[in-house]
Amino acid sequence: VRVAAVFGLYLVLAAVLILHQRGRVVPDGFIDELTYGRVAQNLAAGDGFTYQGLSPGYRSLLPYAIAPAWALFSGSTAYHAALVVNAALMNLVVFPAYAIARRVAPFGWFLDDGHHEERFKSWDEPVDKLMERAGNREIVRKEIDALPEGYRTVLVLRDIEGLDTEETAKVLGLSVNATKIRLHRARQALRTLLAPHFRSAVS
């Protein structure tokens, strides 16, 4: 109850402050701290995985959350104070979705030098051998079902029903290029979901 009360007071204070400081309380740099939160929001909204854009809801929440830090401090101190608030917000509000996003994030993550963060461990057996077992085929179907609808649809039409890219694009009402990108993301997402099932350990 105390935590909720303090958090509530914090939000009220933020709401008051932001009325006076609107437009200058959110340095754009903070947005870069929220990659996983952004992913989580997009997945939750059914928009699939994208790096582009924050959801309106989170964009409107963030200024209120960090406004007190920006008002009480100045310069780099305010920046660091706001980062702490930002981190707290991530943990309290976004972390559950963040954890899901970490699991579902289809690209894999990259280091600053452009290389993969993850070392990919081979799957235990060739795919034909894996798919001989009914349990494994069931796993694949379950993970396809777990994909966001947009990904699942394009994957089924293209890879399973065998439509070509142009046909798939027309069925979905998308451009050919958008269809190719969405299919690529869907395959990457499915690979990420399948990998833990078909390899002995993650290195």
Partner 1 sequence: MKCRELAEFLNDYVSGELPAESRAHFEFHLSKCKNCHEYLVQYEMTIKAGKIACDEMSDEMGPMPEELVKAVLLARIKT
8 A C-beta contact, residue 89 and residue 58 = no
CB atoms under 10 Å from CB of 88, counted, come to: 13
Candidates 32-40, 68-76, 81-89, 135-143; binding stretch for partner 1 (CB under 8 A) = 135-143
DSSP 16-41: HHHHHHTTSS--GGGGGGGHHHHHHH
- Closer Cβ to partner 1, 96 or 161, answer by number: 161
Query: Should residue 164 be labelled a site residue for partner 1 when binding is judged by CB under 8 A?
Result: yes
CB atoms under 10 Å from CB of 202, counted, come to: 10
Fill in the per-residue mask, 107 to 126: x = in contact with partner 1 (CB under 8 A), - = not in contact.
Answer: xx-x--xxxx--xxxxx--x
Query: Which amino acid is located at 197 in the chain?
Result: H
Distance (Å, whole) CA 202 – CA 196: 7
Minimum distance of partner 1 from residue 98's CB (angstroms):
21
Query: Should residue 133 be labelled a site residue for partner 1 when binding is judged by CB under 8 A?
Result: no
Query: Should residue 65 be labelled a site residue for partner 1 when binding is judged by CB under 8 A?
Result: no
**Nearest CA among 86, 92, 109, 97 for reference residue 46:** 97
- Closer Cβ to partner 1, 28 or 113, answer by number: 113
For residue 57, the Cα-to-chain-centroid distance in whole angstroms is: 15
Candidates 12-20, 51-59, 81-89, 133-141; binding stretch for partner 1 (CB under 8 A) = 133-141
Query: Should residue 83 be labelled a site residue for partner 1 when binding is judged by CB under 8 A?
Result: no
**Residues, the chain:** 203
Report the interface residues with partner 1, using CB under 8 A: 107-108, 110, 113-116, 119-123, 126-128, 130-131, 136-138, 140-141, 144, 155-157, 159-161, 163-171, 180-181, 183-184, 187-188, 190-191, 194-195
